[in-house]
Structure 1
């Protein structure tokens, strides 16, 4: 999250709407009681108001008599701007942000005058282009709801907010009050996450507030921002079927907190000790099928795999051809590291592990490959240092024009060099790419391009992992000149391992020749 961008993540929007009932004191009570629920949960929240400049918003004829059910409600709960200033001050006193939905251009003016933190676009205004233009001109962070919009209309809304350089987030929303389960369509959240990458997606909820299952499901599908209507019932005031009481807000936030704990972190970390112990207790080990003499090469027919694995025993998954007995091993005895030496295949292991990591990064970045390509594992200071100084270059085509996909794993760098003939343009697809070009340092992000002309010194590296396309003139072997003369003295095969496809059956042979 860049410093000048609003962080929409883990934001809870509490919509007061007309639940102040036209009474500023009751409105402040709603804010206080729901503010207490927010404070108890320890979450970040915004109290949202709705502004309509009623003298101009409602048509003159409808102000006298209207068949629209909303008009009487709007008119009967009308408050002066001063009352909203008091309620906004109360929200901030409760530690909440101020947020407001305008339904006309004059209300945006008032939002600016009152210095709200966030502006909201209601679903009914998400295709109201005159109002959207005014909202965009405010410069405030924007949250836009999408209830009732087709996917093409959401595309248009997203494109508009992008083109106006708005700092914005989108809410999946269903404008049915209350929303039945079969209309929630929470799967739209995952679709929005995929379709509008980099945009925070939320869930604006109108289901029965006593039902808390939806917030956990929405979070699991990728929602990072949540909204619901709130109020406080009294002997005279009955809440509508989709507005939450303070206790229901507590339950809602507790359900979100529990779901967050269950979902956990997205990164796959090391297993917990109890999990590792449980898995280890179900593993097979390697046993000697017959007596094995010291110094004997151990073949597949000399061993068998059985459960349970003994303490300190080599697991069946670690079996490899070429093991050697360093001590005698009795029949049916477990093979242990003390009695067996494993062949050194460090260089092959480094590159085979890189294959898995590179393929995983390409999959994560959704970069498809067919089966017809050549792969170069670049290791100018030896395979042993590949994880430090290295790159994987996938040649897609090399004719009068050429295209490669370059992948660098986290922490890898490529040494300073230039090309005698080749002109190349880098297009970053995934991750951040740091590049030094003719002594100038730049950081490229997805979508950025950079052209490197022949004879220009350049090097590149990444801290987090990066994928970028290299579109160039024909690539010729021997066209690269390195600043380090030791690299220039190396044979091509000493600094690059070149294989067809991923080299599943070639890596061992290729590395064995060195």
Structure 2
């Protein structure tokens, strides 16, 4: 993806969030220089992948396959001594016509909540190995109601409705046609996008970025490329 494309996407979705009265912490607005001047007090943000994320899953077609997210808080599977939080909270943006491809998690259980805009469609299957189980029914919960549905069922979430998916359930997101972009909230157990996303087809989770302009907002995928001053905590 080009940085200019990412910048344009973020500007649009930040305005969409404002319309729904979603407010972000200070670090959501930091520029590249702000990040490079941090000290060890802010290590949790970087270690736990808090902040912005934009991906087209390597498709080169964000309008078809894409997602924008902001992670507010998260734990860390590898450093539970430092970061004992067992939960994660994020907001996600999905445009009408966009798809979040089939994937499942081995570690994370999540609640997907439609917070406003259009209707979110979630198609579900059980996993068998890394394949879709096309036979067995899927058991999950929608706003506290236990559902058992046939493999490949699509569940509609209208604004205010939510769905709980446990580990091992393949799920794919779409937006129902002619209902508009969707603002999604996710409340889950600890999230690690680098190791716990198992896509049915092989997609790169973090895109390669062509730097054709300066970042409007830094993404969590940029953190490793920044010169961050965390020496005190390392000693």
Q: Is 1:474 the equivalent of 2:151?
A: no
Distance 1:347 1:425, change over 3 A: same
Q: Distance in 2 between matches of 1:349 and 1:473?
A: 33
Report the Cα offset of residue 494 of structure 1. Answer: 3.2
Return 5+ residue gaps in structure 1 as ranges: 1-345, 498-502
Q: TM-score, normalised by structure 2?
A: 0.60
| Residue pair 2:122, 2:172 contacting (<8 A) in 1 also | yes
Report the Cα offset of residue 398 of structure 1. Answer: 0.2
Report the Cα offset of residue 381 of structure 1. Answer: 2.9
Q: Distance in 2 between matches of 1:449 and 1:505?
A: 29
Q: Specify the alignment match of 1:357 in structure 2.
A: 12
Distance 1:506 1:449, change over 3 A: closer
Q: Specify the alignment match of 2:166 in structure 1.
A: 453
1:213-265 CA-to-partner distances (Å, cap 9, x unmatched) read xxxxxxxxxxxxxxxxxxxxxxxxxxxxxxxxxxxxxxxxxxxxxxxxxxxxx
Structure 1 counterpart of 2:105, from 411, 419, 427? 419
Q: Distance in 2 between matches of 1:506 and 1:366?
A: 22
Q: Is 1:433 the equivalent of 2:125?
A: no
| Residue pair 2:68, 2:92 contacting (<8 A) in 1 also | yes
Report the Cα offset of residue 348 of structure 1. Answer: 1.9
Q: Which has the larger radius of gyration?
A: 1
Q: Specify the alignment match of 1:338 in structure 2.
A: none
Q: Distance in 1 between matches of 2:24 and 2:217?
A: 19
Q: Distance in 2 between matches of 1:391 and 1:494?
A: 11
Q: Distance in 1 between matches of 2:162 and 2:153?
A: 15
Report the Cα offset of residue 506 of structure 1. Answer: 4.2
Q: Distance in 1 between matches of 2:12 and 2:206?
A: 23
Correspondences of 1:44-443 after superposition (within 5 Å):
347-373=2-28, 374-382=51-59, 384-399=60-75, 400-431=86-117, 432-438=119-125, 439-443=152-156
1:460 alignment partner, SS class: strand
Q: Specify the alignment match of 1:8 in structure 2.
A: none
Report the Cα offset of residue 370 of structure 1. Answer: 2.1
Report the Cα offset of residue 372 of structure 1. Answer: 3.1
Distance 1:493 1:426, change over 3 A: closer
Q: Distance in 2 between matches of 1:381 and 1:448?
A: 30
Distance 1:391 1:493, change over 3 A: closer
Higher relative contact order (Cα pairs below 8 Å, separated by 6+ residues): 2
| Residue pair 1:358, 1:409 contacting (<8 A) in 2 also | no
| Residue pair 1:419, 1:479 contacting (<8 A) in 2 also | yes
Q: Distance in 2 between matches of 1:371 and 1:409?
A: 25
| Residue pair 2:109, 2:188 contacting (<8 A) in 1 also | yes
1:137-171 CA-to-partner distances (Å, cap 9, x unmatched) read xxxxxxxxxxxxxxxxxxxxxxxxxxxxxxxxxxx
Q: Specify the alignment match of 2:44 in structure 1.
A: none
Report the Cα offset of residue 467 of structure 1. Answer: 0.6
Distance 1:442 1:352, change over 3 A: same
Q: Distance in 2 between matches of 1:369 and 1:353?
A: 18
Q: Number of residues paired by the alignment?
A: 154
Report the Cα offset of residue 376 of structure 1. Answer: 0.9
Structure with greater strand percent: 2
Q: Specify the alignment match of 1:238 in structure 2.
A: none
Q: Distance in 2 between matches of 1:441 and 1:448?
A: 14
